[in-house]
């Protein structure tokens, strides 16, 4: 069996585990925001943060043990995407995260949840996935991303290398300003941040009282770290060396872990190329794996259910959500898993920025939807927006035209 096949089998196998347990535990990042905003339950949000903390500790473990070459993550030539690049593209993280957060709320779930729902029989998710694929394709394979966004954003990017900072990892940045040694500082910062995030998760009975929350967060972290080990360990390094000697390199090799914005775009590109084997990417195969894992769990437990749109309005809202997720996910270089767990596991500043932007965009969208539902015609978009911002204490209550509900 050749190295590439083994590489892709790892992607598929880990994704099956992710899809299976994400379905079993109802791990859902949009649900995490919804629970927190609408009912004050932080259990699933803490599961998400628990996954981030464990992933940070896991990647730290890979680095300390020497099981993988994590320098590949910071190289523009080998990283997919380059989370630790020295070019701190803060505008794309903020705007991309906001767009993705809005989209995942309208689309009833993030990219991973869309695939999980698809595996469980939700036909709506096929349309959301394809809509996401259309805009992700445009962002990845055409000049749309540069023309619409990067052309005016790039002047605001911060090139850390001009200050002799190697990358945007928190450990590296702290080491630069304190004059400490980079490697040891990175390890200490990872241990502290990862440990605090895990501790925060366990401080609430919302999290501690649910085995599903603990298991869901653990599995997400496990597969993310395992994917880093596969793609930056001996197997990933050997594949990169072999690819250098190929006439036609497989697309999107290199250091990477799970992200669910790319698979939709890669899928349409794969179809467009006549199902070319060179487009059999880690991300694409992982997407198939999540669907397979969710399908397996749904069949074994008798929970497979066909779901359809409630009406044309429901259809339109989900399509818009999918389109926004494709744009936002690629612009931010990742989604609620791809940036907020995979990227955050590398302690890239942009990943944390994306995480907060996604949560904010999703929470504000939910607030607007809630006020428009309660007040119906009385609640214009502007009034609902102001009320939502006032609820989030970002505007004075005196600004609101709708009473708090």
pLDDT digits (tens, 9 = 90+) for 76-87: 778 888 899 999
Alpha carbon distance, N-terminus to C-terminus of the chain:
61
Per DSSP, helices labelled H in 252-311 are: 262-272, 282-300
Q: Enter the pTM of the model.
A: 0.96
Residue 248 pLDDT > 90? no
**β-pair partners for 87:** 159
Q: What is residue 243's predicted lDDT score, i.e. its pLDDT?
A: 81
Only one residue has tokens 């399509």, namely 319
**Which one, of 204, 208, 322, 217, lies nearest residue 263 by Cα?**
322
Burial class (CB in 10 A: 0-12, 13-18, 19+), 294: buried
pLDDT tens sequence across 277-336: 888 899 999 999 999 999 999 999 999 999 999 899 999 999 999 999 999 999 999 999
Q: Which two tokens stand for residue 399?
A: 């600004």
239 contacts: CB under 8 Å, gap ≥ 6: 3, 4, 7, 253
pLDDT tens sequence across 194-241: 999 999 999 999 999 999 999 999 999 999 999 999 999 999 999 988
Residue 72 pLDDT > 90? no
Q: What is residue 198's predicted lDDT score, i.e. its pLDDT?
A: 98
Q: What is residue 369's predicted lDDT score, i.e. its pLDDT?
A: 94
- Entry field: residues in the chain: 405
Residue 273 pLDDT > 80? yes
324 contacts: CB under 8 Å, gap ≥ 6: 99, 100, 102, 103, 106, 107, 135
What are the sequence ranges of the domains in the chain?
3-71+90-399
Rounded distance between C-alpha atoms, residue 405 and residue 398, angstroms: 15
Residue 337 pLDDT > 80? yes
């Amino acid at each position: 069996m050749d190295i590439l096949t083994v590489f892709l089998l790892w992607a598929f196998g880990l994704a099956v585990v992710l899809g299976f347990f994400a379905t079993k535990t109802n791990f859902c990042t949009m649900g995490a925001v919804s629970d927190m905003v609408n009912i004050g339950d932080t259990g699933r949000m803490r599961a998400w943060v628990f996954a981030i903390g464990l992933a940070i500790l896991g990647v730290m473990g890979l680095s300390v043990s020497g099981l993988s070459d994590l320098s590949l993550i910071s190289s523009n030539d080998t990283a997919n995407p380059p989370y630790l690049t020295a070019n701190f593209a803060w505008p794309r993280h903020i705007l991309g995260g906001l767009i993705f957060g809005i989209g995942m709320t309208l689309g009833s779930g993030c990219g991973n949840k869309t695939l999980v729902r698809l595996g469980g029989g939700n036909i709506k998710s096929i349309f959301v996935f394809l809509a996401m694929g259309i805009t992700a394709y445009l962002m990845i394979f055409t000049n749309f991303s540069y023309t619409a966004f990067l052309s005016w954003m790039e002047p605001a990017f911060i090139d850390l290398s001009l200050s002799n900072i190697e990358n945007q990892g928190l450990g590296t940045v702290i080491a630069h300003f304190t004059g400490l040694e980079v490697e040891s500082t990175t390890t200490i910062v990872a241990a502290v941040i990862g440990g605090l995030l895990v501790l925060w998760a366990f401080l609430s009975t919302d999290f501690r009282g649910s085995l599903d929350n603990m298991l869901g967060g653990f599995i997400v972290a496990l597969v993310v770290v395992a994917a880093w080990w596969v793609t930056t360990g001996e197997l990933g390094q050997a594949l990169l060396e072999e690819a250098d000697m190929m006439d036609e390199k497989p697309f999107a090799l290199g250091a990477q872990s799970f992200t669910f914005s790319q698979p939709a775009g890669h899928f349409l590109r794969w179809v467009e190329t006549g199902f070319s084997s060179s487009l059999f990417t880690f991300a694409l195969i992982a997407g198939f794996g999540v669907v397979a894992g969710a399908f397996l769990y749904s069949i074994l437990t008798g929970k497979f259910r066909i779901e359809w749109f409630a009406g044309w309005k429901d259809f339109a809202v989900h399509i818009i959500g999918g389109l926004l997720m494709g744009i936002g996910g690629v612009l931010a270089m990742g989604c609620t898993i791809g940036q907020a767990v995979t990227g955050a596991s590398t302690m890239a500043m942009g990943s944390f920025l994306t995480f907060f932007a996604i949560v904010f965009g999703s929470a504000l969208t939910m607030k607007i939807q809630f006020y428009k539902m309660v007040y119906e015609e009385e609640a214009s978009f502007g009034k609902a927006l102001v009320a939502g911002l006032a609820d989030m204490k970002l505007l004075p209550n005196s600004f609101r035209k709708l009473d708090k509900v």
